[in-house]
């Protein structure tokens, strides 16, 4: 009796209803996680499928068999849709509708025209196998971009489900395990059903782990972003600079650093208000990002101080970038309360060397000293570290003119 079909269906109903509540909570509290809505719908569909299947032997078998198995196939399709939405892909509505329609049509045929329960088991198993193969492939492709414990767990459980479904179909087709009735499966089929139930629950736990990892990554990313300007903050800057110095040490590729300070920022705040100062910071950020490469990192490291990491960039190249930023800032205006506020910047430029090695603080100090030199020379310009060989400094006239 413990392995009877009604008993198993009750367990399926209870478990998937609990999962649907869990996914409802996730979807409500994290509305940007679109996949949660599909996984919630998948759990509801599976619970409804189990509820419909409980009516076997009570009402005409057409409804519980067709509706129950159809809802279970729909649940699998919705789980696949959730995987694709989780990774930013489109929902395969047409393919899902085709699989569902073909499965339902064949179930009707082998119920109304040729009543063959073994054939129905094979049909439902093959439909779920097709969706499981597709889902496992989606997870495998996503894992190629980076490790994911949740995706690994879901993939392993899907392989187990594939094996269980294949064995169920084979046993039903060959008659292994004995006859199958409308209300009670034989022991082999019931055991396979229990394995599928366990594996499907673990797949959902894998999805939950994927969601947790995604949310944790988003929180970690937010911790590395400056709220006001949207660029990297000081923490992110220091991590990237340490990595860049380590890479330069291994490869001896050039690396340059810019430290940028908005001139007269205190006067802007005092004369126009802190809102105007914020507008200037955002305006400079937009202008600077438009002049930098994708591989460069712009970070706000203080109130009005920015830094730019320039990988694979020599000192002369970095000076040209700095010159361009100074000119760009001169042309930039921050709009605040109907006013256009002009800005200028001072920039210190420094280049990584073997003496710096992994000590990125030395590189920051060199660029900082150059920044103070630019301010002493009148601001609105760039400057290089003072202790550089003359051949490097000669092509870079100071002060900078427009």
What's the pLDDT tens digit per position in 15-47? Answer: 999 999 999 999 999 998 999 999 999 999 999
**Cis peptide bond N-terminal to 399, omega within 30:** yes
For domain 234-393, the question of CATH label 3.30.70.270 is answered with: yes
298 contacts 341 by C-beta, under 8 angstroms: no
Cα 287 to Cα 292: distance, rounded to the nearest angstrom: 9
**Amino acid 173: pLDDT:** 83
Please state, in angstroms and rounded to a whole number, the distance separating the CA atoms of residues 202 and 153.
Answer: 7
H helices present in 56-116, as ranges = 62-86, 93-108
**Structure tokens, 149:** 């414990």
Q: How confident is the model at residue 338 (pLDDT cuts 50, 70, 90)?
A: confident
Query: Strand 255-262 vs strand 305-311: parallel, antiparallel, or unpaired?
Result: antiparallel
Phi then psi dihedrals of residue 388, to 5 deg: -110, 150
CA atoms within 13 A on the CB side of 43: 26
Structure confidence by residue, pLDDT tens digits, 179-218: 766 556 677 877 888 898 899 999 999 999 999 988 888 8
DSSP 274: H
Q: Is the pLDDT at 386 greater than 80, yes or no?
A: no
Residue 376 buriedness (CB in 10 A; 0-12 / 13-18 / 19+): exposed
Give tens-digit pLDDT for 239-261.
999 999 999 999 989 999 999 99
Give 178-183 contacts, CB < 8 A, sequence gap 24+: 180/117, 180/118, 180/121, 181/117, 182/56, 182/57, 182/61, 182/117, 183/4, 183/5, 183/6, 183/56, 183/57
User: Which residues are registered as beta bridge partners of 336?
Assistant: 339
288-331 pLDDT, tens per residue?
A: 999 999 999 999 998 899 999 999 999 999 999 999 999 999 99
Query: What confidence category does residue 178 fall into, taking pLDDT thresholds of 50, 70 and 90?
Result: confident
The CATH architecture to which 5-222 belongs is Up-down Bundle (1.20)
Residue 153: strand, helix, or coil: helix
In the chain, CATH 1.20.1070 sits at: 5-222
Residue among 113, 225, 124, 100 nearest 180 (CA): 124
Tens digit of each residue's pLDDT (9 = 90 or more) over 96-114: 999 999 999 999 999 888 8
Answer yes or no: pTM beyond 0.75: no
Structure token digits, residue 96: 């899902």
Q: Are 353 and 252 contacting, i.e. CB atoms less than 8 angstroms apart?
A: no
- CA 48 to chain centroid: 31
Among 34-38, 136-140, 396-400, top mean pLDDT goes to 34-38
Lowest mean pLDDT among 60-64, 170-174, 264-268: 60-64
The pLDDT score that the predictor gives to residue 186 is: 72
Residue 395, pLDDT > 60, answer: no
- Taking residues 383-387, what's their average pLDDT? 75
In the chain, residues under CATH classification 3.30.70.270 are 234-393
């Amino acid at each position: 009796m413990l392995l009877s079909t009604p008993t198993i269906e009750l367990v399926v109903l209870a478990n998937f209803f609990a999962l649907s509540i869990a996914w409802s909570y996730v979807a409500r509290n994290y509305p940007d996680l679109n996949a949660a809505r599909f996984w919630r719908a998948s759990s509801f569909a599976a619970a409804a499928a189990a509820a419909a299947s409980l009516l076997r032997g009570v009402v005409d078998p057409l409804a519980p068999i067709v509706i129950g198995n159809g809802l279970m196939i729909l649940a699998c399709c919705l789980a696949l849709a959730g995987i694709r939405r989780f990774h930013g892909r489109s929902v395969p509505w047409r393919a899902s509708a085709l699989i569902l329609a073909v499965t339902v049509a064949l179930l009707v045929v082998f119920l109304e025209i040729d009543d063959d329960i073994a054939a129905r088991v094979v049909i439902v198993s093959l439909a779920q196998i097709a969706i499981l193969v597709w889902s496992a492939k989606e997870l495998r492709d996503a894992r190629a971009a980076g490790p994911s414990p949740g995706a690994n767990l879901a993939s392993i459980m899907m392989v187990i489900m594939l094996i269980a479904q294949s064995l169920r179909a084979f046993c039903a087709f060959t008659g292994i395990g004995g006859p199958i009735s409308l209300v009670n499966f034989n022991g082999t089929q019931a055991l396979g059903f229990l394995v599928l139930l366990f594996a499907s629950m673990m797949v959902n736990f894998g999805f939950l782990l994927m969601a947790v990892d995604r949310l944790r990554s988003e929180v970690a990313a937010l911790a590395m972003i400056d709220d006001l300007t949207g660029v990297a903050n000081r923490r992110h800057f220091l991590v990237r600079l340490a990595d860049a110095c380590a890479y330069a040490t291994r490869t001896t590729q050039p690396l340059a650093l810019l430290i940028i300070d908005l001139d007269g920022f205190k006067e802007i705040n005092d004369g126009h208000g802190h809102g105007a100062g914020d507008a200037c910071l955002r305006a400079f950020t937009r202008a600077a990002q438009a002049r930098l490469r994708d591989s460069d990192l712009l970070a706000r490291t203080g109130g009005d101080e920015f830094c730019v990491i320039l990988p694979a960039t020599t000192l002369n190249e970095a000076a040209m970038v700095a010159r361009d930023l100074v000119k760009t800032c001169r042309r930039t205006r921050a709009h605040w309360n109907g006013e256009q506020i002009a800005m200028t910047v001072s920039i210190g430029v420094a280049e990584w060397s073997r003496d710096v090695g992994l000590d990125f603080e030395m590189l920051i100090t060199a660029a900082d000293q150059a920044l103070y030199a630019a301010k002493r020379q009148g601001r609105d310009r760039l400057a290089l570290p003072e202790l550089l060989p003359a051949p490097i400094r000669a092509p870079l006239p100071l002060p900078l003119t427009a």
